[in-house]
């Protein structure tokens, strides 16, 4: 079975044309699907505690982002197609722009569109720049024109993703508060704090009581004595070794041992040569006796 063609490959000519048309003003960035990952403490040496404990994942199978970093504006196409038949594959368009005079980021997005609809919109968008450049020579005006044109064509039914996110976060907060009420979370948390304080107090009292015991103090005294005895023993041992010239004797022994090893090697080599010569002579004698 042949491998199914991806939407990006199927419409590569149209997409390449779009990127070429706007290339003077936008840089390309692509992302593939990846799960969110936990940031282990080992990988967060300088973690302040304010950073998210999970990396951002990529939900869509493939995302094409075209961005103008200088102005902080961009638009993107997110494709979902893996393990889906062609008629169920979708594309979502998003635009990151600025909101009014507040200069705040605002992200709007389209509803999922079919591949046929995406193709028609892409053809319409490319048609704006077939015979002319993307816009006036002023970069700011040109970038704004491209963003506005893309929004008008691809995002006819706008979704304010910032507002959607805020609504979702509000629902999550309401659910969290509801669950806390149902589970009497604050009561349990208060009991936990009190139990922790009692445990810490008990541990502190136990440590103090143990430190006051005769056995504890005697053990610490003996450990100090043993430590001092080890130091005295090491010093006296070193002095005794010097009195017997132990270092010099070790050096002399190592030299003699090395000489013995060299002698053993020479003897072995000579004996090996003798053995091979002897075997050769015996074979020659056996051969000569067999001759008539």
List, for residues 27-48, the tens digit of each pLDDT value.
Answer: 999 988 766 555 554 444 444 4
| pLDDT mean for each 10 residues of the chain (292 residues) | 77 93 90 64 47 58 89 90 92 80 70 94 89 55 84 71 66 87 91 94 94 93 95 94 93 94 93 89 77 62
Look at residues 196, 224, 220 and name the one whose alpha carbon lies nearest to residue 210: 220
Compute the residue count for the chain: 292
pLDDT at 42: 45
Q: Rg of the Cα trace of the chain?
A: 42
pLDDT at residue 292 in the model:
60
Q: CA-CA distance, 180 to 192, in Å (whole number)?
A: 15
Closest to 154 in 3D by CA, of 197, 128, 181, 122 = 122
**Residue 168: per-residue pLDDT:** 66
What would the two tokens of residue 159 be? 């979704």
pTM for this prediction: 0.48
What pLDDT, on the 0 to 100 scale, is given for residue 121?
94
Q: Which residues of 112-140 are buried (b: 16+ CB within 10 A; e: fewer)?
A: ebebeebbebbeebbebbeeeebbeeeee
User: What is the C-alpha to C-alpha distance for residues 85 and 212, in angstroms, rounded to an integer?
Assistant: 77
**C-alpha pair distances (Å), 268 with each of 28, 194, 198, 279:** 75, 82, 79, 16
Provide the greatest CA pair distance for the chain.
Answer: 122
Residue 135 confidence (pLDDT): 52
Residue 29 parent element (H or E): strand 27-34
Instruction: List, in sequence order, every beta strand (DSSP E) within 35-103.
Output: 58-68, 73-80, 90-99
pLDDT at res. 215: 94
At 142 the pLDDT is: 82
Element (H, E) at 107: strand 104-109
Name the residue with tokens 């507040």: 102
- How far CA 261 is from CA of 2, 16, 57, 272, in Å, comes to 72, 77, 67, 16
| Pair of tokens at residue 93 | 């368009």
DSSP string for 202-269: HHHHHHHHHHTSHHHHHHHHHHHHHHHHHHHHHHHHHHHHHHTTHHHHHHHHHHHHHHHHHHHHHHHH
CA nearest 91: which of 59, 66, 113, 107? 113
Phi, psi dihedrals of residue 34, rounded to the nearest 5°? -155, 140
The rounded distance, in Å, linking the Cα atoms of 179 and 171 is: 12
Residues 127/171, Cβ–Cβ less than 8 Å = no
pLDDT at 2: 47
């Amino acid at each position: 079975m042949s491998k199914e063609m991806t939407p990006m490959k199927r419409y590569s000519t149209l997409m390449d044309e779009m990127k070429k048309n706007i290339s003077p003003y936008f840089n390309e960035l692509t992302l593939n699907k990846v799960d969110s990952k936990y940031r282990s403490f080992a990988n967060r040496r300088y973690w302040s505690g304010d950073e998210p404990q999970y990396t951002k994942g990529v939900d869509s199978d493939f995302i094409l982002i075209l961005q103008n970093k200088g102005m902080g504006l961009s638009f993107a196409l997110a494709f979902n197609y893996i393990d889906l038949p062609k008629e169920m594959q979708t594309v979502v368009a998003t635009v990151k722009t600025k909101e009014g005079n507040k200069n705040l980021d605002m992200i709007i997005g389209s509803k999922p569109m079919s591949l046929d609809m995406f193709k028609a919109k892409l053809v319409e968008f490319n048609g704006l720049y077939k015979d002319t450049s993307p816009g006036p020579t002023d970069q700011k005006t040109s970038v704004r024109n491209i963003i506005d044109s893309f929004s008008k064509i691809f995002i006819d039914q706008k979704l304010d993703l910032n507002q959607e996110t805020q609504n979702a976060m509000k629902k999550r907060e309401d659910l969290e508060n509801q669950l806390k009420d149902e589970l009497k979370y604050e009561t349990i948390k208060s009991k936990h704090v009190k139990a922790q304080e009692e445990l810490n107090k008990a541990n502190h009292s136990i440590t103090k009581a143990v430190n006051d015991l005769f056995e504890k103090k005697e053990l610490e005294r003996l450990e100090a004595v043993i430590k001092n005895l080890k130091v005295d023993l090491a010093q006296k041992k070193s002095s005794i070794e010097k009195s017997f010239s132990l270092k010099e004797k070790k050096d002399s022994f190592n030299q003699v041992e090395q000489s013995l090893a060299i002698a053993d090697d020479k003897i072995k080599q000579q004996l090996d040569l003798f053995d091979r010569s002897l075997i050769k002579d015996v074979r020659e004698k056996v051969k000569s006796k067999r001759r008539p």
